[in-house]
Structure 1
């Protein structure tokens, strides 16, 4: 059983984190400061140290000096991105911003322990040939090695591309709807690359204020702007030697895009307020749910940057397009939540299994995981019902449609028959436009096998306005 040391001065946070880790089969010790940890424990004897950055006395990064190779995960809520850069440069294996959710912490802990265990058990004298064969064997474990659940044809094709692309230094653009797991793909690309032991720095471009994005990414010099009391490295610099993952890159301002283009073209950065450039060795992985090519045509995204990013494009399918994968993913989430909540006897009732297969999951994997977590918490028996999952879908008449992946069979009575050239979204759009003049919203939703709320959300996403007629007011 892995032994983890928590160093955190806030008792409530420390106790909550201890309970979380102990519920997930970890042995846990705790301390309120670096000094207390050194006095009570042998720091190198632990498998992992999870420490707050700001502690009374010495900062949490002091533990890195005494860890003797034990990985240190830093928690920070103080200007988290900037603090994270400093922590990573001092040797922290990773960082996590407070407040964190439980799943985020557990994933980070499991990943760090796994990576550390693997690094300790790879004999240095292993020959290159044996290493190659073992690597191939590990990679053959496809989605297990890659860390993504699912085996539908679209995902198998994705796994194949990940294996081919990961060992290279090519830039990668991951495309897919929100909630499909684009960061998992980025992490798989990093973990299977030659940069796996170097940092993977993940940045959500939409989460950083536009006024700060350039400073956070590229760093700044002292006095570069009001409040810049000291120079700081940026996240690109922190990723030197490793991988930089820019999520929602379509939200990056044009000025920051120009700086990023320089990184890709010249392999160098210039901090805000500096006249000197410095070299960096960074592999860039970007992700977006937006149409970057379309944005480039209207001047909202640099066309030259788009083509630099689009060296390798990986398309992550929506959950509704993955067939039986949805049931496999749901069972995995149920097992995880049961372990977390201490429930060992839960299962999906038949109506829940049916609802999971037929619901279109507009929020994709993230929505599915949240629905199952809620159901496990609220379930008072052993069977989780469709009602507990909160799925608003008409189940009658769907029992025999086991291969449903987004639109039900009864919608096919339209005069527009679906063809191989039409995606599910195309078919949805054509169906609504053809029938909305003589069907109410309720009837449209029922024919499509979705809720009225889901119908409205898809109208908004696809830009299909409601006709102003009496027929559509139902």
Structure 2
């Protein structure tokens, strides 16, 4: 029922209480699911049932500084008296003024935009809204626009007061419920993140048996591997040679949702260019000379699983374009085939080359680089994780003994000090080769000692380092500036060579040098050879 504009007294005494007290109207408000819906419903009911030109509920946001509207992003500063809402909030009292006066006296842009569609003969009535229980916190303001007689009838009407009280009570209750839900959701999100973090950490700890090391760099790498495994993004592994990119690729597959499907790997630098395309895409029978039967490529064999392309920086440009199409469309065509096939796989690529430099040199496609690098992982060099050398060395020793059927052996502190002092351009792979050699040179029942470690293969500070695997060659040099140190180095090299000659038999080495065994042991202790 629409309220007529005339006869305000009759409206006040008859229609208004009945309309505002009607059960359907109250139920409409009570059934509101949120404060936003409540404000919109309350304004719509007032506007439609009372014949108002406009009705709107504005809300005070959390800080208490701004009044906001649900219909747009306009906000009104509660301390800015260029709009009437500040007067109402500050005084706590209703305010009535004509649209014509408001246009002249108040110049707030947002408020003037509200007035723009209204007629100059209309009046504004703004009422402050506060919670009726608790600390009576501010909720917002109610804007009513209509003819003067209609608004006058509403001001002191008990039905309007009841409607306003119901609105404020429901608003306050919904705000508390929403706040509790938000707090509950925040708590739930925090618990979820905590549980996810604990789950990922547990998985990363499982990886520690395969990706060895407790250094900060390795712990971070294992976490990255777990996060990568949770996605289907293409992974680009970058790092120096010998850092374990193959192991990381297999770990990503092992902890992914594709773990039960195939893991196929190929080294792009190890296959001739003419054969690489056939290896990847396969070929149909008769596709080229010698193709006597059809052959599935690695892309087909890796369907549902993971394809690992090692040294992808060496892939020919023409093949890079075909690989990019597979990644973008999920389709490929074997050599000589007439129909395309689908490729459902996860790609992990690896390289030790600086691909950005390869792009500048036009040896690598930029679009493929960005497609491969959806989840980039950089593997740390051994120089960044020296704390892991002892654990790695012992693991390599254990692996050697199991592989070669040797009794368990350890490694002396002197040998470890030698390993810590070395440089490893070949990283973990070089360390493994050194330990394997030392294991092979160590007598049964003994621990790896410093004298069995192979010498450095590089020059240090411009001077060649004597290899203990070769006879000691003496040469006079004008570069010697510390005779004592030179003699100490020479003595150390001679003892190392002699121990190696006699397979670590210290008694025979001492006899061959014309020294008592105790003297040799003392010299080895001074030279950090750990001879006992």
Q: Please report the TM-score for the alignment, with normalisation by the length of structure 1.
A: 0.54
Structure 2 residue 215 is the aligned partner of structure 1 residue 152: yes
Partner of 1:284: 347
Query: Cα RMSD over matched residues?
Result: 2.7
Deviation at 1:264, TM superposition (A): 0.3
2:448 maps to which of 384, 388, 406: 384
Structure 2 residue 140 is the aligned partner of structure 1 residue 140: no
Distance change in 2, residues 1:135/1:272 (3 Å) = farther
1:24-423 aligned within 5 A: 140-145=202-207, 147-380=210-443, 382-392=446-456
State the distance in 1 between where 2:452 and 2:206 align.
30
Q: Secondary structure at the match of 1:383?
A: coil
Distance change in 2, residues 1:452/1:219 (3 Å) = farther
Q: Secondary structure at the match of 2:363?
A: coil
Deviation at 1:345, TM superposition (A): 4.4
State the distance in 2 between where 1:326 and 1:376 align.
16
Q: Can you give the 5+ residue segments of structure 1 that lack an aligned partner in the other structure?
A: 1-132, 395-440, 454-469
Deviation at 1:392, TM superposition (A): 2.4
Distance change in 2, residues 1:445/1:143 (3 Å) = farther
Deviation at 1:443, TM superposition (A): 3.7
State the distance in 1 between where 2:271 and 2:334 align.
17
State the distance in 1 between where 2:452 and 2:200 align.
39
Q: Secondary structure at the match of 2:415?
A: helix
Residue deviations 1:12-67 (CA, integer Å, cap 9, x gap): xxxxxxxxxxxxxxxxxxxxxxxxxxxxxxxxxxxxxxxxxxxxxxxxxxxxxxxx
Q: Secondary structure at the match of 1:362?
A: coil
Of 171-180 and 333-342, the range deviating more from structure 2: 333-342
Residue deviations 1:196-250 (CA, integer Å, cap 9, x gap): 0000101111111111000110011111111111111110111010000000001
Conserved in 1, the CA contact under 8 Å of 2:434 and 2:454?
A: yes
Query: How many pairs are equivalent?
Result: 274
Q: Secondary structure at the match of 1:223?
A: coil
Deviation at 1:138, TM superposition (A): 8.0
Q: Secondary structure at the match of 2:274?
A: coil
Of 284-293 and 267-276, the range deviating more from structure 2: 267-276
State the distance in 2 between where 1:358 and 1:272 align.
52
Conserved in 2, the CA contact under 8 Å of 1:218 and 1:271?
A: yes
Distance change in 2, residues 1:357/1:203 (3 Å) = same
Q: Secondary structure at the match of 1:169?
A: coil
Distance change in 2, residues 1:321/1:391 (3 Å) = farther
State the distance in 1 between where 2:228 and 2:289 align.
42
Distance change in 2, residues 1:242/1:392 (3 Å) = same
Conserved in 2, the CA contact under 8 Å of 1:218 and 1:272?
A: yes
Conserved in 2, the CA contact under 8 Å of 1:355 and 1:391?
A: no
Conserved in 2, the CA contact under 8 Å of 1:138 and 1:145?
A: no
State the distance in 2 between where 1:271 and 1:356 align.
49
Q: Secondary structure at the match of 1:354?
A: helix
Q: Secondary structure at the match of 1:264?
A: helix
Distance change in 2, residues 1:443/1:216 (3 Å) = closer
Partner of 1:45: none
Conserved in 1, the CA contact under 8 Å of 2:200 and 2:226?
A: no
State the distance in 2 between where 1:134 and 1:143 align.
14
Q: Can you give the 5+ residue segments of structure 2 that lack an aligned partner in the other structure?
A: 1-194, 468-477, 480-532
Distance change in 2, residues 1:303/1:315 (3 Å) = same
Conserved in 2, the CA contact under 8 Å of 1:139 and 1:145?
A: no
Deviation at 1:272, TM superposition (A): 1.0
State the distance in 1 between where 2:296 and 2:429 align.
33
Deviation at 1:355, TM superposition (A): 1.0
Q: Whose Rg is larger? A: 2
Distance change in 2, residues 1:183/1:167 (3 Å) = same
Q: Secondary structure at the match of 2:273?
A: coil
Conserved in 1, the CA contact under 8 Å of 2:326 and 2:332?
A: yes
Distance change in 2, residues 1:289/1:393 (3 Å) = closer
State the distance in 1 between where 2:463 and 2:325 align.
49
Q: Please report the TM-score for the alignment, with normalisation by the length of structure 2.
A: 0.48
